[in-house]
């Protein structure tokens, strides 16, 4: 089935992207659902394409102010790439597939609204990378994080870049070089996750609590914060400050010429709560 045919509204509040990805709407909160339970959400080429497509749709949706990334599998958030599919590829097919796989992770990473990962069970390889692509990560005590790509003689692309920025370099390198798994408690100790909760239900409740709080916030400011932080990662402090203060970044320039850019000051002067419109 062509991707265009697979993208369809199944029921009010839910849209399918291919067979394995769904977006469920809860007011201003959008739930991006990994839904390939028979394969523990292993990311195939089709699934990667669907994640990227869902992210493109969310990025263009002005009514989606927060995204919560979840899984339908009771024991796995995502176990990474579909190795059975990978094993069937020729070298040329693998070269063509890698940009598609990358598009799934960058799609989540570059969403303009805050993103919250609700992680339970195995978050391995690409699953860990998807979580790392989110702004906030909540995990259950049973969660196991890991980057086993080294055991297959390959590279954990995004995690190789992002993990050393989320935890001490020497610990990140141990995980990348040995492929060992890390319990949620250790991930919390190193600051990789925001909070560890007792079980899956608690993780979801905490993620939704945070999402609803963020959904009441200023969406244009959130977009400007995310773009600034992402661009500043590769710049020196002064270069990053110059970029922000000159409003060179599109989201920053848009913020200061928007209704929302004036609303906060106006609401403060009028002693009322601001009403954010996202424009």
Tell me: the pLDDT tens digits for 198-255? 999 999 999 999 999 999 999 998 998 888 888 777 766 677 666 666 666 677 777 7
Report the C-alpha gap between 10 and 178 in whole angstroms.
43
- pLDDT of 233 reads 73
**Of the ranges 28-32, 131-135, 269-273, which one carries the lowest mean pLDDT score?**
269-273
Calculate what percentage of the chain has a pLDDT beyond 90: 58
What mean pLDDT, rounded, does the chain reach? 86
The whole-number pLDDT of residue 247 equals 62
Give pLDDT, residue 254.
73
Q: Considering just the CA atoms, what is the radius of gyration of the chain in Å?
A: 19
Neighbours of 8 (CB within 10 A): 10
pLDDT band for position 180 (cuts 50, 70, 90):
very high
What's the rounded Cα separation, in Å, for the pair 23 and 166? 28
Check residue 5 and give its pLDDT: 35
pLDDT tens readout for residues 151-171: 777 767 778 888 998 899 999
For the stretch 40-51, pLDDT in tens is: 999 998 999 999
Q: Enter the tokens of residue 174.
A: 């141990």
Which tens digit of pLDDT belongs to each residue from 12-51?
A: 589 999 999 999 999 999 999 999 999 999 999 899 999 9
The values of phi and psi at residue 266, to 5°, are -65, -45
Q: What order do you get walking across the sheet with 14-17 strand by strand?
A: 8-11, 14-17, 21-26, 29-34, 66-71, 115-119, 136-140, 195-197
Say how far apart CA 40 and CA 45 lie, in whole Å.
15
DSSP classification of residue 116: E
pLDDT band at 6, cuts 50/70/90?
Answer: very low
What residues are annotated to the active site? 129, 149
H-assigned helices in 45-168: 45-59, 83-87, 91-109, 126-132, 157-166
pLDDT of residue 91: 67
Q: How confident is the model at residue 272 (pLDDT cuts 50, 70, 90)?
A: confident
Other Cβ atoms within 10 Å of 103 Cβ, number: 17
Per residue in 68-104, pLDDT (tens digit) is 999 999 999 999 888 777 667 666 766 676 778 788 9
Q: How many CA atoms lie within 13 A of 28 on its CB side?
A: 19
Neighbouring-strand partners of residue 245: none
Is residue 157 within 8 A of residue 133, CB to CB? The reply is no
């Amino acid at each position: 089935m062509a991707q265009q045919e697979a993208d369809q509204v199944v029921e009010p509040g839910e849209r399918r992207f291919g067979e394995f990805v769904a977006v469920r709407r809860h007011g201003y909160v959008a739930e991006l659902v990994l839904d390939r339970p028979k394969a523990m959400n292993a990311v195939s080429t089709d699934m990667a394409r669907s994640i990227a497509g869902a992210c493109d749709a969310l990025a263009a949706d002005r009514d989606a102010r927060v995204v919560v990334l979840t899984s339908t599998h009771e024991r796995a958030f995502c176990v990474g790439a579909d190795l059975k599919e990978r094993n069937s590829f020729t070298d040329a097919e693998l070269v063509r597939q890698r940009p598609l796989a990358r598009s799934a992770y960058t799609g989540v990473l570059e969403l303009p609204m805050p993103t919250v990962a609700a992680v339970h069970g195995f978050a391995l390889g690409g699953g860990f990378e998807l979580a790392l692509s989110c702004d906030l990560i909540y995990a259950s005590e049973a969660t196991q994080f890991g980057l086993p790509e080294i055991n297959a003689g390959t590279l954990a692309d995004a995690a190789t870049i992002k993990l050393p920025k989320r935890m001490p370099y020497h610990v990140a390198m141990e995980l990348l070089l040995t492929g060992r798994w890390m319990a949620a408690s250790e991930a919390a100790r190193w600051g990789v996750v925001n909070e560890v909760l007792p079980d899956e239900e608690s993780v979801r409740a905490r993620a939704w609590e945070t999402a609803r709080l963020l959904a009441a916030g200023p969406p244009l400011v959130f977009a400007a914060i995310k773009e600034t932080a992402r661009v500043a990662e590769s710049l020196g402090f002064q270069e990053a400050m110059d970029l922000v203060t000159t409003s060179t970044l599109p989201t920053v320039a848009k913020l200061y010429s928007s209704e929302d850019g004036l609303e906060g000051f106006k609401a403060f002067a009028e002693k009322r709560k601001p009403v954010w419109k996202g424009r």
